[in-house]
Amino acid sequence: MEQKGLNLIPDIFKKIIITGDRLKPRRTDRGILALNLFDFLLNPNAIDS
């Protein structure tokens, strides 16, 4: 998962990686949310976790 570019952004906005891989939503140690495309599209609360 490519997150190097997101780690360089010094702001307070949510950083989200949406992937086609089947994975459970999780946060990296830097606070980046990684979630599956289907969770993003079908779950209206997916990015609030």
| DSSP H or E stretch at residue 11 | none
Judged against a pLDDT cut of 70, whether residue 1 lies above it is answered with: no
Domain count, the chain: 1
| Predicted TM-score (pTM) above 0.85 | no
Q: What is the pLDDT of residue 2?
A: 72
At 20, is the pLDDT very low, low, confident or very high (cuts 50, 70, 90)? very high
Using the Cα atoms of residue 35, residue 38, residue 39 and residue 41 in order, give the sign of their dihedral. Answer: positive
Q: Structural domain of residue 34, as residue ranges?
A: 4-48
Average pLDDT over residues 20-30: 88
Average pLDDT over residues 25-32: 87
At 40, is the pLDDT very low, low, confident or very high (cuts 50, 70, 90)? very high
Residue whose entry in the numeric block shows the structure tokens 């079908």: 42
Q: What is the pLDDT of residue 12?
A: 80
Using the Cα atoms of residue 37, residue 43, residue 44 and residue 45 in order, give the sign of their dihedral. Answer: negative
| End-to-end CA gap in the chain | 19
Maximum pairwise Cα distance, the chain: 30
